[in-house]
Structure 1
Amino acid sequence: MTDNFDLESLVHLEQIFYDSGYQEGHAHGRIHGLIEGRALGREKGFEMWEELGFYEGFALLWKSVSILQGREDDRALNHIKHLLTLISEFPRANPSVIDKEGSVDVPKLFRQIRSRYKALCAAVGIRPSLRAAEKSLPDDDQGMDGGSMSDQQTNGKEPIWTVDNRPGDPIGS
């Protein structure tokens, strides 16, 4: 009976159970990490594209305004052209899948796009706002920045522009 029983295996019994639990936990964590990573990536990707869409729409709007006003050599059009070029360079596929030679530095490109947006805002004479990236409130009467229109009027800040302004009217009246 002593030949079948190995006393030495009892000395390492705790380590054997620890290693077994670690292996199972690691495999389980890997699966859940992939699921959570994909969900987070989807959420952050949507936020980035929402912000890029805001910048692109903003640039296209001011391009149309500049063309309608006949200012075709305006410095704002130069900023618009560069902003739209930067946005078109933004990767449309997951950069980790692209080969290393063709990879794009996404944070650097995003900083350049934001900088060009701010320069465009300065050229057209409005306050830059990164509100497209902020989460909006679930209220129905929201302004462009996610707050309610009554909040804009009661906190002493004038809105950047109103929909019913005509050319030549002072801003905020």
Structure 2
Amino acid sequence: MAEAFDLESLVHLEQTFYDVGHEDGFAHGRIHGLIEGRALGREKGFEMWEELGFYEGFALMWQAIYTKQGRDDERAAHHTRYLLDLVKQFPRVNPSASDSSDLDIPKLFRQIRSRYKALCSTLGVKPSLRATGTSPPRNQTDDVESERQSRQVWTLEAPETKKPPAQGLDF
């Protein structure tokens, strides 16, 4: 009977429970960390591609405008070509940790933003670096409101026409 009972295991009972709980929590945290990490990566990746798409579209639009008008502005053309080249260098697939590429994505993104600002300066256009769906800072709200009021907006429907609510719903 004395051989079946181990007194040493009772001395370390608290540490044993702590170790088992830590192992279970670590495994559970690893699973949830992967899930949350993938969701965050997908969200941030979409934001980056949305911004890159804006820069590429901006450069292509101005390139087409200059080509159609036959204007020859060497500085603007240079900035446009360089911006498009930088956007093309951005990786199209997710580089894995096992790849030994020396690509510095934040540095490339900073270069793209800088080239965009240089192109805007050359064209005389105010750069817009706001993310989609965000409101302007508080000190610019008054400027935005006065600009919005100064622009004329044409209505799509005839004035003073009310449509009947659809299916009893009134918005």
Q: Same fold (TM over 0.5)?
A: yes
Superposed CA RMSD in Å reads: 2.7
Aligned counterpart, 1:119: 118
Question: 1:94 offset after TM fit, Å?
Answer: 1.1
Does the 8 A contact of 1:90 with 1:106 survive in 2? yes
Aligned counterpart, 1:140: none
Question: 1:125 offset after TM fit, Å?
Answer: 0.2
Q: Distance in 2 between matches of 1:162 and 1:48?
A: 33
Secondary structure at 2:39's aligned position in 1? Answer: helix
Larger RCO, structures 1/2 (Cα 8 Å, 6+ apart):
2
Aligned counterpart, 1:109: 108
Equivalences for residues 7-156 of structure 1 within 5 A:
7-97=7-97, 99-100=99-100, 102-131=101-130, 134-136=131-133, 155-156=145-146
Secondary structure at 2:84's aligned position in 1? Answer: helix
Q: Rg larger in 1 or in 2?
A: 2
Does the 8 A contact of 1:82 with 1:116 survive in 2? yes
Count of matched residue positions in the alignment of Structure 1 and Structure 2 = 149
Q: Distance in 2 between matches of 1:154 and 1:21?
A: 56
Question: 1:155 offset after TM fit, Å?
Answer: 3.7
Question: 1:70 offset after TM fit, Å?
Answer: 1.2
Q: Distance in 2 between matches of 1:33 and 1:90?
A: 27
Q: Distance in 2 between matches of 1:27 and 1:67?
A: 59
Question: 1:45 offset after TM fit, Å?
Answer: 0.2
**CA separation of 1:98/1:5 partners in 2, compared to 1, >3 Å: closer, same or farther?**
closer
Question: 1:68 offset after TM fit, Å?
Answer: 1.6
Question: 1:71 offset after TM fit, Å?
Answer: 1.8
Whichever structure has more helix as a proportion of its residues is 2
- Cα deviation, 1:16-54, whole Å, max 9, x if unaligned, reads 111111111111110110010000000000000000000
**CA separation of 1:6/1:98 partners in 2, compared to 1, >3 Å: closer, same or farther?**
closer
Runs of 4 or more above 3 Å deviation: 151-159
Q: Distance in 2 between matches of 1:90 and 1:17?
A: 49
Q: Distance in 2 between matches of 1:47 and 1:162?
A: 32
Does the 8 A contact of 1:121 with 1:127 survive in 2? yes
Question: 1:158 offset after TM fit, Å?
Answer: 7.4
- Cα deviation, 1:136-160, whole Å, max 9, x if unaligned, reads 06xxxxxxx789xxx676644579x
Percent identity between the aligned chains?
A: 61
